[in-house]
Structure 1
Amino acid sequence: MAKLLINYAPFEIRVGLVENGQLVEFYVERPSEKSLVGNIYKGKVVRVVPGINSAFLDLGLSRTAFLFGDDIMPSSEIEWEKDTVFMANLYEILKEGQEILVQVIKEPLGNKGARVSTNLTLPGHYLVYLPYMNRVGISRKIKDDLERKRLREIVERIKPPNTGWIIRTAAVGATEEELKAELDFLLCLWGEIKEKAEKMKAPALVYEELNIALRAIRDLFTKDISEIVVDDKDFFEEIKNFLERYFPNLAPYIKLYQGKEDIFFAHGIQIDIKKLLSRKVWLKSGGFIVIEPCEAFTAIDVNTGRYTGTKELEETVYKINLEAAEEIAYQLRLRNIGGLIIIDFIDMENPEHQELVVQTLKEALKKDKAKNSFLPISAFGILQMTRERKRDSLYKIFLESCPYCHGEGSIKSKKTIYYEILRRLIKMGPHIKNKKIEIEIHPDLSEIIGEEIHYLEDLEKKYGFSTTLKPNKEFLVYEYKFHILT
């Protein structure tokens, strides 16, 4: 069975999906860096570029958003009743100064603004509502033909005319009453969004997507999950109230964790950022893989390492590649690596072995909700694949360019270091009442602490201790040290 673990702190929410005691998916959201994906904006067209069939919109963000012609129509990733292939000519549809409703479908990356679509979607647990469509789609992951037929017939019967719906994988086994309740909720939500949008002047945020904890429950919960465990009482009540109102069938699964240990540690999981994002990952056989995130793609190399097989070389290579394929699928999902991925398997001469390695990788990715596609292994042992990328990977969240190697490598971001210090103080809290704590830090850490000093002050009040910060230029930026003075 699986569990959803939710760790709440005012400065960071962490969500982990645990299957058979192993962390398989890990998500982090910081209020200061909240995701934009799923947000609906009333945007103003700034510029239409016919040559690339694109438009740029002002959403009130730091950079203009990007609308491509394909993003004005439904995605081909859903199996519709009738095929729809269309490329909108934006210069014939949009004019500068025009106000339109759009939804963010990809985060801003680097110097690029957010990618948006006019094909708005409102996801629930069982269904996704598409206000501008008149189709019923169904997840390809639902394989049972009778269940597909049952679900489609129910939705066709209960949906209002001229509305579009996608039946999600989680709908398997859902009753007509459960589907109808969610359908009515999504229709009501859309009514509120429309009413709000009519009163607002662009650019403006019309609808903000749920926080990471509620999104994870909505999108990841399956019948394999036995419980949703939350470690903060107030946040637990907030989630419970939300579920009871909008997804009452999920409310019985939520539990409050009241232990003193970190919730992940209590479930046998150590969240070590350095290990979590380690460049080298050892395989049980003694082989290893190397994961290298690059600007345009992620490169993964498979190596024999310490493997000492007793059989022929081809059999040895085949077994290492099989093990590597399973580990790669796990790491892609855990680290949320998206975009183009290049995998350099150890060369195999047997075509059958090559095919079995690819099938092993595909099979291992079946539980991954991110969409993927593959090319066959090339003559050089290279496999090219893509994995859907909507949100930042763990690399983007936890790391920043290293000032000591001029951007050639990465270290923990200053915010991550500060939050580590706060977590250390939370752990020490019950034992340092009425104590004075001196924290030695690199001077560069002072700015981020100053910007978010209220988190430190809240901990001082909660646990009854006081702190002083002592800059130490001899420290590296990620080094810090605690001293209990009294």
Structure 2
Amino acid sequence: MTKELVINTTSHETRVALLENGHIAELYIERIRERGIVGNIYKGKVLRVLPGMQAAFVDIGLEKAAFLYVADVLDEVQGVERYIDEGSALAEGGKEEAPILPPIQDLLQEGQEVLVQVSKEPIGTKGARITAHISLPGRHLVYMPTVDHVGISRRIENEEEKERLRQLVEEIRPEGAGFIVRTVSEGKSEEDLRSDMEFLSGLWQDICGLQRRNPAPSLIYSDLDVISKVLRDILTEDVRRIVVDSKREYGKIVQFIETFMPSLEYSIELYQGQEPVYEALGLETEIARALNTRVWLKSGGYIIIEQTEALTAIDVNTGRFVGKRNLEDTILKTNLEAVREVAFQLRLRNLGGLIIVDFIDMEKETHREKVYLALEEALRPDRAKTNILKISELGLVEMTRKRVRENLARTLCEPCPYCEGKGYVKSRPTMVYEIFRQLRRDIGSLPGKQVNLLVHPDLASLICDEERCEIDDLETHSGKQIAITARFDYHREQFDIVAS
């Protein structure tokens, strides 16, 4: 699979697209005025402790208070392990019960100062999710100063390499310091890992110094900009080409690669064409399509993606596809094609939380199993953690996908001011009959012999033509003349009844 990074920068916005076989697989957008805060470290002050929710709200200096759950407060050695050991027991039937966590009020008090890190962006009406377990990502390692543990990326599948890396980190790490070995560390030397370890340890010492000197609430450490994050987290041997349209960012990328990845060969291109780089590569069209509710499949079928506050619903339909053999084969082929598109859209749109996929009903158990396995395989390249349940008899798949930042629609769009986010407006007849009811209630109490009805032009034409008889009837019974005025500046659900 051919992978490329295409970077577009302006004075107000930076966009980084990861292309797989020429199509956008992931899109990262950072705006100067709306820069993301995941990874930032704050010195906060506890505002409220909520025993009933086992959580606390913490002021970290943002518009909305951040949310801190009890499990994100416990010290790993003295807290989490102890409570898991004490609380885990085999219940009847041999099932392990959930660990018993201590009351949140035993760990935090209102007014207490805490060092926390943002783990999830504020999303919708919710404040940021934070944790007291700090993690500092490097190129090869993730440093966890509050956790005495060495972990290895699950994406490293070779058991011998896993053991080699584990022993290497155990030998060179400072006592009590925790590290996670990242996927890009596979095959790396002690020198590579030690260099990363020393840099991250020094960064942590700087953070501790700032924590002691700064008041709460305040920002202690700001994570990297979007380009640096992508280079750190995504740039691997699979990415063969980088295209960037900024000379300044081009120099930074070259320096990064020379510093951290000198042995790897990349094609780094400074784009200098007259046409904007995303337009030239056809990426603007792909981004626009990613905001559509309906996504067509090559066969003629399609999927519908609907996002709500609670979950994302994805519906699979055969559409224009009628198949060639029989109904069961047509359904299976449509579902298998939809699987690939669903996995692709989840990454591209960065959909997270609870996701329900309504596949077309399949009678054969073998077909349901085939679609389920295909979905598991299609989601394998996704860096976000996913959990999938088996397909139900109704053809539904329940799954979760880790949500860290806003999805693409929330980043690029806002609720429609016309329908106020409902996604629809009242029909013309509904509005006209509502106006007639209001007229019948109010017309008798209005002074004068004439009433002026101010409405949207669409409603004015309907009232004057098809519904004229109702106006005539109102005039006859009230003894007043009704003048209808079209107002182009009116919302279609807006009207006024005034005495002339």
TM superposition shift of 1:88: 4.4
Change beyond 3 A, Cα 1:267–1:176:
farther
Please point out which of 378, 383, 390 is paired with 1:369. 383
Deviating more after overlay: 240-249 vs 398-407: 240-249
In structure 2, relative to structure 1, the CA distance for the partners of 1:376 and 1:137 (3 Å cut) is: same
Cα shift at 1:257 = 2.4
Deviations 1:71-106 (A, max 9, x none): 22589xxxx9xx986734321111111111000111
Choose from 102, 117, 134 the match for 1:120: 134
2:217 is the alignment partner of 1:217: no
Offset of residue 475 of structure 1:
9.7
| Alpha-carbon distance in 2 for matches of 1:24, 1:298 | 19
**Corresponding residue SS for 2:5:** strand
- Give 5+ residue unaligned stretches, structure 1: 411-472, 478-486
1:42–1:99 Cα contact (<8 Å) kept:
yes
Alignment of 1:193 onto 2:202: no
1:220 to partner: Cα distance: 1.2
Rate the CA distance shift 1:103–1:88 in 2: closer, same or farther, 3 A. farther
User: Contact conserved, 2:123 with 2:405, CA < 8 A, in 1?
Assistant: no
Q: Which secondary structure does the structure 2 equivalent of 1:56 belong to?
A: strand
Rounded Cα–Cα distance in structure 1 between residues aligned with 2:127 and 2:182 = 29
Contact 1:21 1:268 in 2 (8 A): no
Separation of aligned partners in 1, 2:238 and 2:390:
32
CA contact (8 A) 1:16 1:27 kept: yes
Deviation for aligned residue 1:127: 1.1
SS of equivalent to 1:260: coil
Aligned-pair identity in percent equals 47
**Equivalent position to 1:316, from 330, 337, 357:** 330
Does the Cα contact within 8 Å between 1:244 and 1:251 map onto a contact in 2? no
The gaps in structure 2 that reach 5 residues or longer are 86-98, 425-486, 492-500
User: TM-score, normalised on structure 2?
Assistant: 0.77
Shift of 1:52: 1.2
Q: CA deviation at 1:214?
A: 1.0
Corresponding residue of 1:400: 414
Aligned counterparts of 2:490 and 2:242: Cα–Cα separation in 1: 39
Indicate whether 1:25 and 2:26 are aligned: yes
Q: What TM-score, normalized by structure 1, do the two folds share?
A: 0.79
Counterpart contact for 1:182–1:246, Cα < 8 Å: no
For 1:77-88, list aligned pairs within 5 A.
Answer: 87-88=101-102
Distance 1:247 1:86 in 2: 45
The secondary structure found in structure 2 opposite 1:396 is: helix
Q: Is the 8 A contact 2:60 2:216 kept in 1?
A: yes
Contact persistence 1:240–1:251 (CA under 8 A): no
Q: Distance in 2 between matches of 1:301 and 1:384?
A: 12
SS in 2 for 1:360: helix
Equivalences for residues 56-455 of structure 1 within 5 A: 56-73=57-74, 87-242=101-256, 244=258, 254-271=268-285, 273-409=287-423
Q: How far off is 1:249 after superposition? A: 6.0
Structure 1 Cα separation of the partners of residues 31 and 490 of structure 2: 24
Of 323-332 and 268-277, deviating more is 268-277
| 2:6 paired residue number | 5
Instruction: Judge conservation of contact 2:48–2:56 (CA < 8 Å) in 1.
Output: yes
* C-alpha distance 322-74 of structure 1, shift in aligned 2 (>3 A): farther
Contact 2:240 2:266 in 1 (8 A): no
Post-superposition offset of 1:110 = 2.2
Cα RMSD of the aligned pairs, angstroms, is 2.4
Query: In the superposition, relative to structure 1, how do residues 117 and 274 fare at CA in structure 2: closer, same or farther (>3 Å)?
Result: same
Distance in 1, Cα, partners of 2:55 & 2:258: 42
Q: 1:167 to 1:389 in 2, by over 3 A?
A: same
Q: Which residue is equivalent to 2:55?
A: 54
What is the CA distance between 1:123 and its match in structure 2?
Answer: 0.8
Quickly say closer, same or farther: Cα 1:222–1:244, change in 2 above 3 A.
Answer: closer
| Partners of 1:73 and 1:236 in 2: CA distance | 43
Of 116-125 and 85-94, deviating more is: 85-94
Classify 1:273/1:326 alpha carbon distance in 2 versus 1 (closer, same or farther; 3 Å). closer
My pick for the range that moved more, 256-265 or 333-342, is: 256-265
Q: Partner amino acid for 1:67?
A: L
* Cα drift, residue 3 of structure 1: 1.1
Distance 2:275 2:126 in 1: 41
Deviation at 1:113, TM superposition (A): 1.2
Q: How many residues align?
A: 409
* TM-aligned CA distance change 1:156 to 1:313, over 3 Å: same
Q: CA deviation at 1:383?
A: 0.6
